[in-house]
Amino acid sequence: MARCEVCFHHCNIPEGGKGLCGARKCVNGTVIPENYGRVTALALDPIEKKPLRRFHPSSMILSVGSYGCNLRCPFCQNHEISWSAEAMKLSERAETVTPEELVAAAVRTKSRGNIGLAFTYNEPLIGWEFVRDAASMAHEAGLVNVMVTNGTAELQILEELLPHIDAMNIDLKGFTARYYSDVLGGDLDTVKAFIARAVQACHVELTTLIVPGENDSDGEMRALTEWAAGLKDAEGRTVGRRIPLHISRFFPRFRMTDRPATKIGTVYHLADIAREQLDCVYTGNC
Protein backbone atom coordinates (compact mmCIF):
# COMPACT_ATOMS: atom_id res chain seq x y z
CA MET A 1 0.00 0.00 0.00
CA ALA A 2 1.22 3.48 -0.85
CA ARG A 3 -0.37 6.92 -0.71
CA CYS A 4 -0.35 9.03 -3.87
CA GLU A 5 0.36 12.70 -3.23
CA VAL A 6 -0.28 14.10 -6.71
CA CYS A 7 -3.84 15.38 -6.26
CA PHE A 8 -6.53 16.04 -3.69
CA HIS A 9 -7.81 12.44 -3.83
CA HIS A 10 -4.66 11.17 -2.04
CA CYS A 11 -5.44 7.62 -3.12
CA ASN A 12 -4.18 4.81 -0.90
CA ILE A 13 -3.18 2.33 -3.60
CA PRO A 14 -2.72 -1.37 -2.81
CA GLU A 15 0.32 -3.19 -4.18
CA GLY A 16 -0.22 -3.73 -7.90
CA GLY A 17 -3.30 -1.53 -7.94
CA LYS A 18 -4.02 1.83 -9.53
CA GLY A 19 -5.36 5.11 -8.23
CA LEU A 20 -8.65 6.67 -9.28
CA CYS A 21 -6.91 8.31 -12.25
CA GLY A 22 -6.12 4.91 -13.76
CA ALA A 23 -2.55 5.95 -14.51
CA ARG A 24 -0.63 5.86 -11.21
CA LYS A 25 0.24 2.44 -9.82
CA CYS A 26 1.75 1.01 -6.65
CA VAL A 27 4.88 -1.04 -7.41
CA ASN A 28 7.06 -2.32 -4.56
CA GLY A 29 5.41 0.11 -2.17
CA THR A 30 6.03 3.16 -4.38
CA VAL A 31 3.55 5.06 -6.54
CA ILE A 32 4.81 5.33 -10.11
CA PRO A 33 3.31 6.89 -13.27
CA GLU A 34 2.30 3.83 -15.27
CA ASN A 35 1.48 6.12 -18.19
CA TYR A 36 5.02 7.56 -18.40
CA GLY A 37 5.67 8.09 -22.10
CA ARG A 38 2.56 6.17 -23.10
CA VAL A 39 1.17 8.19 -25.99
CA THR A 40 -2.42 7.83 -27.22
CA ALA A 41 -2.63 10.98 -29.34
CA LEU A 42 -0.13 13.13 -31.23
CA ALA A 43 -1.08 15.96 -33.58
CA LEU A 44 0.21 19.26 -34.89
CA ASP A 45 -2.46 21.80 -33.94
CA PRO A 46 -3.03 25.53 -34.22
CA ILE A 47 -2.24 26.95 -30.80
CA GLU A 48 -5.66 28.62 -30.74
CA LYS A 49 -7.16 25.11 -30.50
CA LYS A 50 -5.75 24.57 -26.99
CA PRO A 51 -7.31 27.18 -26.59
CA LEU A 52 -4.66 29.88 -26.24
CA ARG A 53 -5.41 33.19 -27.93
CA ARG A 54 -2.80 35.47 -26.35
CA PHE A 55 0.28 33.24 -26.56
CA HIS A 56 2.16 33.08 -29.88
CA PRO A 57 -1.01 33.53 -31.99
CA SER A 58 -1.10 31.91 -35.44
CA SER A 59 1.54 29.36 -34.42
CA MET A 60 1.36 25.58 -34.52
CA ILE A 61 2.18 23.31 -31.62
CA LEU A 62 2.77 19.56 -31.34
CA SER A 63 0.08 18.21 -29.02
CA VAL A 64 0.60 15.00 -27.08
CA GLY A 65 -1.75 13.03 -24.88
CA SER A 66 -1.60 9.91 -22.74
CA TYR A 67 -4.44 8.25 -20.77
CA GLY A 68 -6.17 8.70 -17.43
CA CYS A 69 -7.81 11.52 -15.50
CA ASN A 70 -8.45 12.39 -11.87
CA LEU A 71 -11.85 14.02 -12.50
CA ARG A 72 -15.11 12.38 -13.54
CA CYS A 73 -16.73 14.94 -15.80
CA PRO A 74 -19.79 13.17 -17.25
CA PHE A 75 -19.57 15.22 -20.46
CA CYS A 76 -15.87 14.53 -21.17
CA GLN A 77 -15.06 15.12 -24.84
CA ASN A 78 -11.95 12.94 -24.59
CA HIS A 79 -13.50 10.09 -22.61
CA GLU A 80 -11.93 7.53 -24.93
CA ILE A 81 -8.52 8.32 -23.38
CA SER A 82 -9.50 9.76 -19.99
CA TRP A 83 -11.49 7.65 -17.54
CA SER A 84 -13.89 5.40 -19.47
CA ALA A 85 -13.54 1.63 -19.67
CA GLU A 86 -12.44 2.19 -23.25
CA ALA A 87 -9.64 4.43 -22.01
CA MET A 88 -8.31 1.76 -19.70
CA LYS A 89 -8.28 -0.78 -22.52
CA LEU A 90 -6.52 1.74 -24.74
CA SER A 91 -3.85 2.12 -22.09
CA GLU A 92 -2.71 -1.41 -22.83
CA ARG A 93 -2.10 -0.54 -26.48
CA ALA A 94 -0.58 2.92 -26.09
CA GLU A 95 2.75 3.46 -27.83
CA THR A 96 5.72 4.18 -25.57
CA VAL A 97 7.74 7.27 -26.50
CA THR A 98 10.80 8.59 -24.68
CA PRO A 99 11.17 12.31 -23.89
CA GLU A 100 14.06 12.41 -26.36
CA GLU A 101 11.90 10.93 -29.14
CA LEU A 102 9.06 13.34 -28.45
CA VAL A 103 11.33 16.38 -28.51
CA ALA A 104 12.97 15.14 -31.70
CA ALA A 105 9.53 14.90 -33.31
CA ALA A 106 8.78 18.46 -32.20
CA VAL A 107 12.03 19.72 -33.69
CA ARG A 108 11.29 17.99 -36.99
CA THR A 109 8.00 19.88 -37.26
CA LYS A 110 9.52 23.33 -36.76
CA SER A 111 9.55 23.73 -40.53
CA ARG A 112 5.75 23.42 -40.42
CA GLY A 113 5.43 26.26 -37.93
CA ASN A 114 5.73 24.27 -34.72
CA ILE A 115 6.94 26.24 -31.69
CA GLY A 116 6.97 23.46 -29.10
CA LEU A 117 4.99 20.88 -27.15
CA ALA A 118 1.47 20.95 -25.71
CA PHE A 119 0.62 18.38 -23.05
CA THR A 120 -3.11 17.92 -23.49
CA TYR A 121 -6.06 15.65 -24.44
CA ASN A 122 -6.08 13.67 -21.16
CA GLU A 123 -5.01 15.18 -17.82
CA PRO A 124 -1.22 15.74 -18.03
CA LEU A 125 -0.73 16.36 -14.30
CA ILE A 126 -1.32 12.73 -13.39
CA GLY A 127 1.76 11.88 -15.45
CA TRP A 128 3.66 15.00 -14.43
CA GLU A 129 7.04 13.27 -14.40
CA PHE A 130 6.97 12.75 -18.17
CA VAL A 131 5.80 16.34 -18.67
CA ARG A 132 8.75 17.57 -16.59
CA ASP A 133 11.33 15.45 -18.40
CA ALA A 134 10.10 16.16 -21.93
CA ALA A 135 9.48 19.85 -21.28
CA SER A 136 12.95 20.31 -19.83
CA MET A 137 14.50 18.80 -22.97
CA ALA A 138 12.20 20.88 -25.16
CA HIS A 139 13.51 24.06 -23.53
CA GLU A 140 17.05 22.91 -24.20
CA ALA A 141 16.06 22.54 -27.86
CA GLY A 142 14.71 26.08 -27.98
CA LEU A 143 11.04 25.09 -27.90
CA VAL A 144 8.20 26.34 -25.70
CA ASN A 145 5.92 24.20 -23.56
CA VAL A 146 2.17 24.44 -23.03
CA MET A 147 -0.02 22.50 -20.61
CA VAL A 148 -3.80 22.12 -20.89
CA THR A 149 -5.03 21.00 -17.49
CA ASN A 150 -7.90 20.77 -15.04
CA GLY A 151 -5.63 22.28 -12.39
CA THR A 152 -6.44 19.71 -9.72
CA ALA A 153 -2.97 18.84 -8.50
CA GLU A 154 -1.21 19.69 -5.28
CA LEU A 155 0.97 22.79 -5.38
CA GLN A 156 4.20 20.83 -4.90
CA ILE A 157 3.54 19.16 -8.26
CA LEU A 158 2.96 22.52 -9.87
CA GLU A 159 6.23 23.82 -8.44
CA GLU A 160 8.07 20.90 -10.06
CA LEU A 161 6.66 21.87 -13.45
CA LEU A 162 6.69 25.67 -13.40
CA PRO A 163 10.35 26.06 -14.46
CA HIS A 164 9.54 24.14 -17.65
CA ILE A 165 6.09 25.47 -18.63
CA ASP A 166 5.60 28.68 -20.62
CA ALA A 167 1.81 28.78 -20.85
CA MET A 168 -1.25 26.98 -19.53
CA ASN A 169 -4.91 26.79 -20.31
CA ILE A 170 -6.58 25.82 -17.05
CA ASP A 171 -10.19 24.69 -16.77
CA LEU A 172 -12.15 26.70 -14.24
CA LYS A 173 -15.20 24.57 -14.83
CA GLY A 174 -17.54 26.47 -12.57
CA PHE A 175 -17.49 28.47 -9.38
CA THR A 176 -19.43 26.48 -6.80
CA ALA A 177 -18.10 23.76 -4.53
CA ARG A 178 -21.26 21.73 -5.18
CA TYR A 179 -20.70 21.59 -8.94
CA TYR A 180 -17.06 20.60 -8.56
CA SER A 181 -17.76 17.96 -5.93
CA ASP A 182 -21.09 16.47 -6.98
CA VAL A 183 -20.86 16.66 -10.78
CA LEU A 184 -17.14 16.61 -11.59
CA GLY A 185 -15.69 14.67 -8.67
CA GLY A 186 -13.29 17.56 -8.09
CA ASP A 187 -12.41 20.27 -5.60
CA LEU A 188 -12.87 23.98 -6.33
CA ASP A 189 -10.41 25.19 -3.70
CA THR A 190 -7.64 23.05 -5.21
CA VAL A 191 -8.21 24.58 -8.64
CA LYS A 192 -8.32 28.12 -7.30
CA ALA A 193 -5.03 27.66 -5.46
CA PHE A 194 -3.44 26.11 -8.56
CA ILE A 195 -4.54 29.01 -10.78
CA ALA A 196 -3.44 31.62 -8.25
CA ARG A 197 0.09 30.19 -8.22
CA ALA A 198 0.29 29.55 -11.98
CA VAL A 199 -0.49 33.16 -12.93
CA GLN A 200 2.56 34.24 -10.93
CA ALA A 201 4.90 32.16 -13.07
CA CYS A 202 3.65 31.79 -16.64
CA HIS A 203 1.05 32.87 -19.16
CA VAL A 204 -2.39 31.56 -18.11
CA GLU A 205 -5.72 31.47 -19.90
CA LEU A 206 -8.90 30.04 -18.35
CA THR A 207 -11.72 28.01 -19.87
CA THR A 208 -15.26 27.57 -18.56
CA LEU A 209 -17.64 25.15 -20.27
CA ILE A 210 -21.23 26.32 -19.75
CA VAL A 211 -23.50 23.38 -18.87
CA PRO A 212 -27.25 24.11 -18.86
CA GLY A 213 -28.73 23.96 -15.38
CA GLU A 214 -25.34 23.63 -13.69
CA ASN A 215 -23.07 26.68 -14.03
CA ASP A 216 -25.00 28.98 -16.37
CA SER A 217 -26.29 31.65 -14.00
CA ASP A 218 -25.40 35.32 -14.27
CA GLY A 219 -24.40 35.38 -10.61
CA GLU A 220 -21.94 32.53 -10.93
CA MET A 221 -20.25 34.13 -13.94
CA ARG A 222 -19.96 37.42 -12.09
CA ALA A 223 -18.43 35.69 -9.07
CA LEU A 224 -15.98 33.73 -11.26
CA THR A 225 -14.78 36.75 -13.20
CA GLU A 226 -14.54 38.98 -10.14
CA TRP A 227 -12.28 36.36 -8.53
CA ALA A 228 -10.18 35.99 -11.70
CA ALA A 229 -9.72 39.75 -12.00
CA GLY A 230 -8.44 39.84 -8.42
CA LEU A 231 -5.60 37.37 -8.96
CA LYS A 232 -2.07 38.62 -8.20
CA ASP A 233 0.98 38.43 -10.43
CA ALA A 234 4.54 37.62 -9.31
CA GLU A 235 5.04 41.20 -8.07
CA GLY A 236 1.84 41.11 -6.04
CA ARG A 237 -0.04 43.36 -8.45
CA THR A 238 -3.67 42.62 -9.24
CA VAL A 239 -4.04 40.97 -12.64
CA GLY A 240 -7.21 42.93 -13.18
CA ARG A 241 -8.86 42.77 -16.58
CA ARG A 242 -5.91 41.13 -18.34
CA ILE A 243 -6.46 37.40 -17.83
CA PRO A 244 -8.06 35.71 -20.89
CA LEU A 245 -11.23 33.68 -20.36
CA HIS A 246 -12.73 31.23 -22.88
CA ILE A 247 -16.45 30.58 -22.44
CA SER A 248 -17.44 27.42 -24.31
CA ARG A 249 -20.69 25.82 -25.37
CA PHE A 250 -21.66 22.40 -23.99
CA PHE A 251 -22.87 19.58 -26.22
CA PRO A 252 -24.51 16.40 -24.84
CA ARG A 253 -22.07 13.50 -24.92
CA PHE A 254 -20.63 10.55 -23.01
CA ARG A 255 -22.69 10.20 -19.79
CA MET A 256 -24.48 13.55 -19.92
CA THR A 257 -27.10 13.33 -22.64
CA ASP A 258 -30.05 14.37 -20.51
CA ARG A 259 -30.04 18.00 -21.67
CA PRO A 260 -29.65 19.93 -24.91
CA ALA A 261 -26.61 21.85 -26.04
CA THR A 262 -26.13 25.23 -24.43
CA LYS A 263 -28.03 27.93 -26.27
CA ILE A 264 -25.68 30.10 -28.29
CA GLY A 265 -27.42 33.16 -26.90
CA THR A 266 -26.61 31.99 -23.37
CA VAL A 267 -22.91 31.75 -24.19
CA TYR A 268 -22.88 35.23 -25.72
CA HIS A 269 -24.86 36.64 -22.79
CA LEU A 270 -22.46 35.18 -20.22
CA ALA A 271 -19.52 36.47 -22.26
CA ASP A 272 -20.99 39.96 -22.03
CA ILE A 273 -21.27 39.57 -18.27
CA ALA A 274 -17.66 38.37 -18.10
CA ARG A 275 -16.58 41.50 -19.99
CA GLU A 276 -17.80 43.59 -17.08
CA GLN A 277 -14.63 42.40 -15.32
CA LEU A 278 -12.31 41.11 -18.07
CA ASP A 279 -11.07 42.50 -21.40
CA CYS A 280 -10.05 39.24 -23.13
CA VAL A 281 -13.20 37.10 -23.28
CA TYR A 282 -13.66 34.57 -26.09
CA THR A 283 -16.57 32.30 -27.01
CA GLY A 284 -16.07 28.74 -28.20
CA ASN A 285 -18.04 25.93 -29.89
CA CYS A 286 -20.54 28.48 -31.25
Domains and CATH numbers, the chain: 2-284 (3.20.20.70)
The helix/strand/coil state of 173 is coil
Residue 156 to residue 161: CA distance in whole angstroms = 9
pTM above 0.95, yes or no: yes
Q: Quick: pLDDT tens for 112-123.
A: 999 999 999 999
Tell me, what's the pLDDT at 92?
74
Q: Residues 236-267: pLDDT tens digits?
A: 999 999 999 999 999 999 999 999 999 999 99
Lowest-pLDDT range of 87-101, 107-121, 199-213: 87-101
Q: In what order do the strands lie in the sheet with 281-284?
A: 41-46, 60-65, 114-119, 144-149, 167-171, 203-210, 245-249, 281-284
